[in-house]
Structure 1
Amino acid sequence: MVDLDAYFARIGYAGPRDASIATLRALHALHPAAIPFEAIDCLLDRGVDISPAAVDAKLIHGGRGGYCFEHNSLFTRVLTELGFQVEGLAARVRWNAPPDAPAQPRTHHVLKVAAEGQDWLADVGFGGCVLTAPLRFASDVIQVTDHDNYRLLAIPGGLSLEVRREAGWVPAYEMANWFTSTHPTSHFRHNLLCARTTPTARYGLLFNRFTTRPLDGTPTKQILDADGIEAVLRDTFGLAVEPSWRPMIEGAAEAPPA
């Protein structure tokens, strides 16, 4: 169960509470605009509790964001409460990986949602490439969203999600929380990263590099000092910045230029 009133207030939704595709689209757009993607608890060695009570306390009531297991587990409970049929799927992340990179574990959580007689891919927890609208489970079809164009390609045993960027079609992921939040090799344990997608722009922070990708405009990148990082976390990503984060923030500010 989830407190729908509190969740809807958090994301700014006041529409129908039904299992229609219109409702799914509205929630899918509002969620990543209001609740940022971040994994600061992993970086601070706090671990991540994905029990419903912990997720709700953090993402709905605590002014925080989270990573895919938190976002999409919350979204699952919201959609289920509204009457949608939701199935969790495991995905293998390919984002920023070279084409010949070995296959990685399936550490990303995505959703298959049934609505109005059709299956939809929903994912509100994929950082700077997060979907802002559900995609139809249809292969080899370009699907246009406000921020990016996507396509699902058939591969042996499943589907691969690709996004169109300046360099062409880029693989995002191919269709285990403990590994992602605690294992020493997990990138969440070493990188300060945060992302938020609004109706007008995508915002991303990696270490001290703050990127803005306007919906209609040229992407920009800034190198921030510690005070700048703290201000962006608070003002752009809407996070309740804690004093205990300061050493982590200062460490991120010392990252060398990319």
Structure 2
Amino acid sequence: MLHYPAATPSDPVDASDDAPEAGLLPRYLARIGYKGPVAPTLDVLAALQAAHIAAIPFEAIDALTGAAIDIGADAVDAKLIGGRRGGYCFEQNGLFLRVLQAIGFEAEGLLGRVRWMLPDDAPPTPRTHMVVRVMLAGRPWLADVGFGAAVPPQPLAMDSEEAQPTRHESYRIVRHGDVWQVAALIEAEWRTLYRLDSVPPPAIDYELGNWYTSAHPDSHFRHQLIAARTTAEARYGLRDNRLTTRLVDGRSDRRYLTADEIERVLSEIFLLPVRPHWRPAIERAATAEIVG
């Protein structure tokens, strides 16, 4: 398991107008509550990743309510930082990528096909998951802050096929030609999360993936209320009216919620500023019948 540095006073951050993403770093670091060193190292990458997924929840409520999801930098910053909202992979990892680049990391985005909860022989899925690849001393690392309740809680080495234990599950990355297959060990079974293409895509591919994820009628975000948050102690996952809590010691709890309880956990567990126009979607979620 990676060493996570204790919080220490932050190194000075250049927020001048000439700096990349001027002003982004101070606002982002305040948003995730991070006060440690700021430098392009593995320990800092790991600490930022852990702080991000604990502070900024995964959610796609805008897709559920029919609001457009803009993945442009200004819109993402206004929503996730200024508005203290969460988001899904294009928002979360798009923000994380810009932060890492502003710090000085050699980082780029990759796209993949989600395979979570699908049999191995299921037909190909669209390329709708964004992650970040970071190069450190010539070694590639996967950093992902946008994969819901199964998000990797720390960077994963992409040049090793060995199991990589974390505070939560173990992960494994296996390369098949130009594709990396990322899996997690859940209930003693390796379950594929997604398959990543090795070549960074052009920006238009993110726009197309975001449109499919937020607007296509087959996207599950259009039909289910989904939120997730991962801390050092536990994973929290909300799927319509079902709240699941999985502690690092192996204990888990599942309970079903009323509409009022859903509103409360969105605020108290997922740290979201609940909006009045969410109420119809919350009431529908409270009556959902969940299979599986």
Instruction: Output the TM-score relative to the length of structure 1.
Output: 0.97
- Please state if 1:153 is matched with 2:153: no
1:35 to 34, 47, 56: 56
Name the residue aligned to 1:142: 163
Name the residue aligned to 1:199: 232
For residues 262 and 176 of structure 2, the distance between their equivalents in structure 1, rounded to whole angstroms, comes to 40
Name the residue aligned to 1:85: 106
Question: Which one-letter code corresponds to 2:267 in the other structure?
Answer: R
Name the residue aligned to 2:145: 124
Question: Which one-letter code corresponds to 2:181 in the other structure?
Answer: S
Please show how residues 164-179 of structure 1 align to structure 2 within 5 Å: 164-175=185-196, 176-179=209-212
* CA shift for structure 1 position 257: 4.5
Q: Is the 8 A contact 1:20 1:116 kept in 2?
A: no
Question: Which one-letter code corresponds to 1:224 in the other structure?
Answer: L
Q: Is the 8 A contact 2:139 2:159 kept in 1?
A: no
Name the residue aligned to 2:275: 242
Name the residue aligned to 1:45: 66
For residues 221 and 160 of structure 2, the distance between their equivalents in structure 1, rounded to whole angstroms, comes to 31
For residues 204 and 257 of structure 1, the distance between their equivalents in structure 2, rounded to whole angstroms, comes to 14
* CA shift for structure 1 position 156: 4.0
For residues 69 and 87 of structure 2, the distance between their equivalents in structure 1, rounded to whole angstroms, comes to 9
Name the residue aligned to 1:20: 41
Question: Which one-letter code corresponds to 1:158 in the other structure?
Answer: V
* 3-state SS of 2:93 partner: helix
2:213 to 170, 175, 180: 180
For residues 151 and 172 of structure 1, the distance between their equivalents in structure 2, rounded to whole angstroms, comes to 10
Question: Which one-letter code corresponds to 2:272 in the other structure?
Answer: L
* 3-state SS of 1:205 partner: strand
- Please state if 1:227 is matched with 2:260: yes
Question: Which one-letter code corresponds to 1:206 in the other structure?
Answer: R
Name the residue aligned to 1:252: 285
For structure 1, the 5+ residue unaligned runs are none
Instruction: Tell me the alpha carbon deviations over residues 80-132 of structure 1, each in whole angstroms, 9 at most, x when there is no partner.
Output: 00001111111110101122211111110011111233210010000000011
For structure 2, the 5+ residue unaligned runs are 1-20, 197-208
Count, aligned residues? 258
Name the residue aligned to 1:99: 120
Q: Is the 8 A contact 2:112 2:195 kept in 1?
A: yes
- Please state if 1:66 is matched with 2:84: no
For residues 171 and 34 of structure 2, the distance between their equivalents in structure 1, rounded to whole angstroms, comes to 25
Tell me the C-alpha RMSD between the 2 structures. 1.1
* CA shift for structure 1 position 47: 1.4
